[in-house]
Structure 1
Amino acid sequence: MDDLLQPILDGDRRALSRAITLVESTRPDHRARAAALLDALARNGRQALRIGLSGTPGVGKSTFTEGFGTMLTDQGLRVAVLAVDPSSARTGGSILGDKTRMERLARDPNAFIRPSPSATHLGGVARRTREAIALCEAAGFDVVLVETVGVGQSETVVARMTDLFVLLLAPAGGDELQGVKRGIMEIADLILVNKADGDLKAAASRTVSDYSGALRLMRQRPHDPEGFPKAMPVSAVEGTGLAQAWDEMRTLADWRREHGHWDATRSRQAAYWFEEEVRAGLMARLTEDPATRDRMAELGRDVAEGRTAPAAAAKEMLDALSGPA
């Protein structure tokens, strides 16, 4: 039995931090230990409400997360925040400053904040965010908030590891509807227009109306009740609209549980991540074997210098991996 197993089940925050560090490691011995630990923890059956939170840079994701998380802990709920920071494409480094931006929530005994680098992983999440979510669930947290890097074409990956996907937007500045990809709107369960206070309150109301109209034109999703997805105004600074947003999240989550969509979605997500792990493992093997690595490098040079087409080189590499027929 892993010495982290029972402390995590007991809700030990230090053990949880160590376990997340373990699952984020790329060392083969750490990966083996992490896989065994996650397999053992999966048998406890604990579930949290997983909420993915995305939004354009500067929209106030951290301010919203702190205000929303504090409201939940005031209700006696335990909240885990997994905040993903963008990594530099040049140096690979990340600032990881989310705890300083959520100082009040970071001091809350019922909250746990863990920043992680995206490490150039697409989808607005870190490579091991899904496993970190599982660890937080096993530690007894009621709500897990996954704050992504920011809106992008690949940002939809977070919807494959959460139960609800919340899109946070600022009041319109120009043609707001053109600023967000349709693919993200199609998977958003709730659109929250932040900064609905002061001079921006009227603009926020207009933005909510614009998005409400756009959502009505989209086809009703079979796993949603009438009226979802919907747009709402909130102010993370003043705290207005947060309780109403939480009520809507619970209403949607409860409806999906009652109608069987909750379990079905989690089953599909588990199958998806199983396939992703297999793909990642196969790619890793390309670099582990020296002969395979050298052949990849040789074919890469041929492609770069125009001697071989990319598709032909890929077929040759795959044929070599599959061995003799």
Structure 2
Amino acid sequence: MDIAELADRIRAGERRALARAITLVESGRDDHRARAVALLDRLAGSGRQALRIGLSGTPGVGKSTFIESFGMMLTGQGLRVAVLAVDPSSARSGGSILGDKTRMERLTREPNAFIRPSPSQTALGGVARRTRDAVALCEAAGFDIVLIETVGVGQSETMVAEMADLFILLLAPAGGDELQGVKRGIMEMADIILVNKADGDLKPAAMRTCADYAGALRLLRKRPQDPEGFPKAMTVSALEEEGLQNAWGEMQALAAWRRENGHFDARRAEQARHWFGEEVRLGLLARLEKDPDARAQMDRLGAAVARGEISVSGAATQMLAALNG
């Protein structure tokens, strides 16, 4: 399938074409990368815009259950929902399980939903390197909401905030106190904190946890892109599907306020600039690794560092000086 035909099928909302396109942009082969860039450039002027929602939380907090219940609620309202789930890759074998679809059986069968798991590979920050490209493809395919689920490893998963319009942090009951809430990192990036599993015997603990985090959020410095009352903490039960509509209402209100006050488009422009810089930086590193002279110099200095003949900082300084000519 040529690029023009693939682009037309994506615009028509064909799921198979979208899946093939995401596979193409995630490929590391040089010829595939050239085709992927051509495809993204062709779709850049589609004018379609989805609400991008980043979702993070520790393993076991119920991200998949929340996404399924939340996604089913959105599709029930006639919205088209794309889910981009990032799975951790093994540091030894490089493989990923990519089993998120097995946890979302109802949403997988929903015709207005599209679920795509992707490996994180060597990327840090909770998302894969090409997740942003996959988001752009889903927007071109006409989806109304794009949910970006991160790996789920802890407080360093802030990269998803650089590609989402709203950043939602999912927490479990009794997961921390006020001090945990004011820690810098992922907490100050969140727009809305949702305390999940607010049902059954865990409901009182969920209410206390929500109150703790709500108090902690009031201690954080107010951000210019937030209206009064944000960021905020709320309780939800993905299992019993309670509180989801209220959470969605708050997300819509926040997104609408940012659009009206110019923060929405300004943030997207800032994010595009950020990813441009990232792409250039990673491209330069890839070019460095392919240069035989540079690799030989790296191997020589690396061996000297390993023998203790030179410090790491000294070797890096010499390498950079050699690159500058």
Same fold (TM over 0.5): yes
Range with greater deviation from structure 2 (296-305 or 136-145): 296-305
Distance in structure 2 (CA, Å) of the matches to 1:176 and 1:124: 25
- Deviation of 1:141 (Å): 0.3
- The 3-state SS of whatever aligns with 1:182 is coil
- Deviation of 1:295 (Å): 1.6
Range with greater deviation from structure 2 (57-66 or 305-314): 305-314
Asked if the contact 2:155–2:187 (Cα under 8 Å) also holds between the matched residues in 1, the reply is no
Q: Which runs of 5+ in 2 are unaligned?
A: none
1:298 to 1:58, Cα distance in 2 relative to 1, 3 A: same
Structure-2 residue corresponding to 1:5: 7
Structure-2 residue corresponding to 1:185: 187
Range with greater deviation from structure 2 (163-172 or 153-162): 153-162
Asked if the contact 1:177–1:211 (Cα under 8 Å) also holds between the matched residues in 2, the reply is no
1:43 paired to 2:40: no
Distance in structure 2 (CA, Å) of the matches to 1:240 and 1:18: 36
Instruction: Kindly provide the CA deviation profile for residues 197-244 of structure 1, in whole angstroms up to 9, marking residues without a partner as x.
Output: 001111111111111111111111111100000000000000000000
- Deviation of 1:293 (Å): 1.5
Structure-1 residue corresponding to 2:117: 115
Instruction: Kindly provide the CA deviation profile for residues 76-101 of structure 1, in whole angstroms up to 9, marking residues without a partner as x.
Output: 00000000111111111111000000
1:8 to 1:32, Cα distance in 2 relative to 1, 3 A: same
1:228 to 1:179, Cα distance in 2 relative to 1, 3 A: closer
Moved over 4 A (4+): 173-177
1:176 to 1:60, Cα distance in 2 relative to 1, 3 A: farther
Asked if the contact 2:197–2:203 (Cα under 8 Å) also holds between the matched residues in 1, the reply is yes
- Deviation of 1:154 (Å): 2.7
Instruction: Kindly provide the CA deviation profile for residues 84-133 of structure 1, in whole angstroms up to 9, marking residues without a partner as x.
Output: 11111111111100000001101100000000011131000011101100
Distance in structure 2 (CA, Å) of the matches to 1:148 and 1:107: 22
1:126 to 1:202, Cα distance in 2 relative to 1, 3 A: same
- The 3-state SS of whatever aligns with 2:122 is coil
Structure-1 residue corresponding to 2:90: 88
1:137 to 1:282, Cα distance in 2 relative to 1, 3 A: same
Structure-1 residue corresponding to 2:222: 220
Structure-1 residue corresponding to 2:209: 207
State which of 226, 232, 235 in structure 1 corresponds to 2:234: 232
Instruction: Kindly provide the CA deviation profile for residues 121-162 of structure 1, in whole angstroms up to 9, marking residues without a partner as x.
Output: 100001110110000000000000000011434300000000
The 5 A counterparts of 1:66-105 are 66-105=68-107
- The 3-state SS of whatever aligns with 1:145 is strand
- The 3-state SS of whatever aligns with 2:61 is coil
Task: Report the TM-score, using the length of structure 1 for normalisation.
Answer: 0.96
Distance in structure 1 (CA, Å) of the matches to 2:257 and 2:70: 22
State which of 263, 266, 291 in structure 2 corresponds to 1:264: 266
Instruction: Kindly provide the CA deviation profile for residues 9-57 of structure 1, in whole angstroms up to 9, marking residues without a partner as x.
Output: 1111100000000000010011111111111111112110000000011
Structure-1 residue corresponding to 2:32: 30
Asked if the contact 1:153–1:181 (Cα under 8 Å) also holds between the matched residues in 2, the reply is no
- The 3-state SS of whatever aligns with 1:44 is coil
1:177 to 1:63, Cα distance in 2 relative to 1, 3 A: farther
- What one-letter code is carried by the residue in structure 2 that aligns with 1:160? E
- The 3-state SS of whatever aligns with 1:159 is helix
Distance in structure 2 (CA, Å) of the matches to 1:260 and 1:142: 20
- What one-letter code is carried by the residue in structure 2 that aligns with 1:17? A
Range with greater deviation from structure 2 (152-161 or 136-145): 152-161
Distance in structure 1 (CA, Å) of the matches to 2:173 and 2:155: 21
Asked if the contact 1:234–1:241 (Cα under 8 Å) also holds between the matched residues in 2, the reply is yes
Structure-2 residue corresponding to 1:150: 152
- What one-letter code is carried by the residue in structure 1 that aligns with 2:280? V
Asked if the contact 1:86–1:120 (Cα under 8 Å) also holds between the matched residues in 2, the reply is no
Distance in structure 2 (CA, Å) of the matches to 1:16 and 1:319: 45
1:180 to 1:284, Cα distance in 2 relative to 1, 3 A: farther
Identity, in percent, stands at 74
- Deviation of 1:194 (Å): 0.3
1:282 paired to 2:256: no
Asked if the contact 2:178–2:215 (Cα under 8 Å) also holds between the matched residues in 1, the reply is no
Structure-2 residue corresponding to 1:56: 58
- Deviation of 1:322 (Å): 2.5
Asked if the contact 1:171–1:207 (Cα under 8 Å) also holds between the matched residues in 2, the reply is yes
1:188 to 1:151, Cα distance in 2 relative to 1, 3 A: farther
Task: Report the TM-score, using the length of structure 2 for normalisation.
Answer: 0.96
- Deviation of 1:315 (Å): 2.2
1:237 to 1:7, Cα distance in 2 relative to 1, 3 A: same
1:223 to 1:128, Cα distance in 2 relative to 1, 3 A: same
- What one-letter code is carried by the residue in structure 1 that aligns with 2:29? R
